[in-house]
Amino acid sequence: MRHRARRSTAVGLAAIALTAAGCTQGAEKPASDYKEADGKAAAQRWVSEEFTPSTLSKDQQLAEMDWFIKAAAPYRGMQINVVSETITTHQYESQQLAKAFSEITGIKIKHDLIQEGDVIEKLQTQIQSNQNIYDAYVNDSDLIGTHSRGDYVFPLSDYMAGEGRNVTSPTLDLNDFIGISFTTGPDKKVYQLPDQQFANLYWFRYDWFTDPEIKKQFKAAYGYDLGVPVNWAAYEDIADFFTNKVNGNGTIDGKKVYGHMDYGRKDPSLGWRFTDAWLSMAGNGDPGIPNGLPVDDWGIRVENCRPVGSSVTRGGDTNGPASVYALTKYVEWLKKYAPREAAGMNFSEAGPVPAQGNIAQQIFWYTSFTADMTKPGLPVVNSDGTPKWRIAPSPHGAYWKNGNKLGYQDAGSWTLLKSTPQDRRAAAWLYAQFVTSKTVSLKKSIVGLTFIRDSDIKSDYFSQNSKKYGGLIEFYNSPARKQWTPTGTNVPDYPKLAQLWWQNVATAVTGETTPQQSMDNLAKQQDEILARLERLSQQRQGYGGQCAPKLNPERPAQYWLDQPGAPAPKLADERGKPETLDYDKLIATWKQGN
């Protein structure tokens, strides 16, 4: 999730001694005063009072809870420690679902909430020390390329078929999870179980875009209709219009408005702004879902599943013309069309700004903000509680081709480690299934709006209440959803590679380097890490297996630019003809399945 203050990757063994969870080695199970009758009564109470609405009938919910009661019997009295980042969905789990699980099953749960960077640090420490810190982690599926190449994660496919067979719910229904492909490795094994998921979309002020006078002014200035921008040329025109020209001076109702919002402070969150698919939105890499083949949305070329290079000279696209164009436009729009203070903000500071009422559109907006954007009394909420804003597909850049991914989805997912004692792993797996079960998932989706199950999206509740969410439900019900994917399996060490991005993007924001120099530096540094991982795979036979990096030899850049696909040569026209769509017509096509 991108609600994070920092994304730390520095890991020291000293951290082992400081872990708040305490090294939860297989301590003896304390005596429990739990009675099965009490668990059944608790299930009745929670199902009737809290876990409603649900996609299951009450009888089906109670039957599912009865399975948890029976499966938990060997682990009663244990306290299990799990961790996730601090977002609304996980707060609900920590405050409500952990309590419900304990009362229903007799297994005590301590569900810690910490910053996501700290989650990764604890995870890394447990991996490196082989000492159990937490019994299960919720971490981004962005780490799938790391997890699937290591030997420390217990692949869920193996676990459910073997050691964990007796603690795997018969009603888990993996096919109902909309992000299960994101947590599947190159070996086709499922490594993680999605717990919450959200997309990165285009956000705009529907009330302004449909105002007849504003529409008339835009048409007079640009010669085409104001609407949802299909491409970056139209987004740029709309940004210019609202920042400088609407009502002659860039104001609405006497208040200064802006046609763009972003952030630019040198901070780890600047890295997510790019690794979360900004280059693919511009059009770098190759067509292919989920991540472009053979060149993905980080500009990394793979052969089969082996990363072979980031630099254009190795067949990558991290510093190719499309990527340089992506960085150039980001810096240009930040300086020309966003509030002046945006350049000094990080992700957390910039996130609430559109809710203040002076932003017309945002090209890069996480749907995790939906709940905060629908609070009564906000300048962007109508008196009847419906939003004045809408969300739509992100516009694409000049290099984008049909079949490319078009945006990012985050999937925070449960991960089990081999270093966790077997009994603790089993009890934690029961809790992970409980908080994602059909009994509770619809209510959890209503609270956090981070959908994981197709059955919840298609539920009567969201069908009847879709107007409250500004297009979110329509998006998740549309076929367009499949073009939004997380970081994929091509990235072999997410923590090490991700930290390079913010450091190199920041120098372009400040002007210390040109966009080309920034991307050249990034590509070179990524290749250095890939080379290090290649050497590691040779020293430790089996590391990464057939998917370990093996760098291509360098060739002149022109050799690769002359080949079909990515990296593509620089376009003579990087703007193209602006194009917009009527939002209501777009929604109608989604509902028709187009």
**What pLDDT, in 10s, does the model give residues 46-77?**
999 999 999 999 999 999 999 999 999 999 99
For residue 593, pLDDT beyond 80: no
DSSP β-ladder status, 79-85 and 136-140: parallel
Share of the chain above pLDDT 90, in %: 85
Question: What is the pLDDT, as a whole number, of residue 16?
Answer: 28
Confidence of residue 216 (pLDDT cuts 50, 70, 90): very high
Residue 237 is inside which H or E element, if any?
A: helix 232-240
- Residue in the structure block whose two tokens are 């190759």: 286
For the chain, how many residues are written? Answer: 594
Name the burial class of residue 90, with classes exposed (0-12), middle (13-18) and buried (19+) by CB atoms within 10 angstroms of its CB.
buried
For residue 544, pLDDT beyond 90: no
Q: What is the 3-state secondary structure (H, E, C) of 117-132?
A: HHHHHHHHHHHHHCCC
Determine the 3-state secondary structure of 358 from DSSP: coil
Determine the 3-state secondary structure of 276 from DSSP: coil
* Half-sphere exposure of residue 72: CA atoms within 13 angstroms, side-chain side: 33
Residue range 412-441: average pLDDT?
98
Question: What is the pLDDT, as a whole number, of residue 571?
Answer: 98
**The Cα angle at residue 506 between residues 500 and 507, in degrees rounded to 5:** 100
Residue 58 is inside which H or E element, if any?
A: helix 58-71
C-alpha span between 417 and 130 (Å, rounded): 9
For residue 590, pLDDT beyond 90: no
Per residue in 505-538, pLDDT (tens digit) is: 999 999 999 999 999 999 999 999 999 999 988 8
What are the tokens at 82?
A: 């799990």
Are residues 167 and 215 in contact, defined by beta-carbon separation less than 8 angstroms? Answer: no
Per residue in 305-325, pLDDT (tens digit) is: 999 999 999 999 999 999 999
Residue 252 is inside which H or E element, if any?
A: strand 251-252
Question: What is the pLDDT, as a whole number, of residue 433?
Answer: 98
C-alpha span between 71 and 450 (Å, rounded): 28
Residue range 368-389: average pLDDT?
93
Question: What is the pLDDT, as a whole number, of residue 4?
Answer: 43
Per-residue b or e along 94-120, where b marks 16 or more CB atoms closer than 10 Å to that residue's CB: bebbbbbbbbbbbbbbbbbbbbbbbbb
- Name the nearest CA neighbour of 333 among 249, 469, 240: 240
* Half-sphere exposure of residue 86: CA atoms within 13 angstroms, side-chain side: 10
C-alpha span between 323 and 283 (Å, rounded): 8
For residue 178, pLDDT beyond 60: yes
Question: What is the pLDDT, as a whole number, of residue 592?
Answer: 67
What are the tokens at 498?
A: 């991700």
Residue range 401-409: average pLDDT?
92
DSSP letter for 48, please: H
For residue 182, pLDDT beyond 80: yes
Per residue in 12-33, pLDDT (tens digit) is: 322 322 233 334 444 445 667 8
DSSP β-ladder status, 255-256 and 251-252: antiparallel
Distances (CA, A) of 196 to 89, 192, 245, 451, 564: 7, 12, 40, 6, 38
C-alpha span between 555 and 577 (Å, rounded): 35
C-alpha span between 198 and 218 (Å, rounded): 32
Question: What is the pLDDT, as a whole number, of residue 299?
Answer: 97
- Residue in the structure block whose two tokens are 């770098």: 284
Torsion angle (degrees, nearest 10) of CA 500, 501, 504, 508: 180
C-alpha span between 509 and 154 (Å, rounded): 41
Q: In whole numbers, what is the pLDDT of the chain averaged over residues? A: 92
Question: What is the pLDDT, as a whole number, of residue 20?
Answer: 35
What are the tokens at 490?
A: 């091509």
Per residue in 91-111, pLDDT (tens digit) is: 999 999 999 999 999 999 999
Question: What is the pLDDT, as a whole number, of residue 8?
Answer: 37
Please give the sequence-ordered ranges of beta strands (E in DSSP) within 128-167, or none if there are none: 136-140
Question: What is the pLDDT, as a whole number, of residue 29?
Answer: 57
- Residue in the structure block whose two tokens are 């006497």: 254
Are residues 136 and 175 in contact, defined by beta-carbon separation less than 8 angstroms? Answer: no
Per residue in 430-485, pLDDT (tens digit) is: 999 999 999 999 999 999 999 999 999 999 999 999 999 999 999 999 888 888 99
C-alpha span between 585 and 554 (Å, rounded): 48
Please give the sequence-ordered ranges of beta strands (E in DSSP) within 485-590, or none if there are none: 580-581
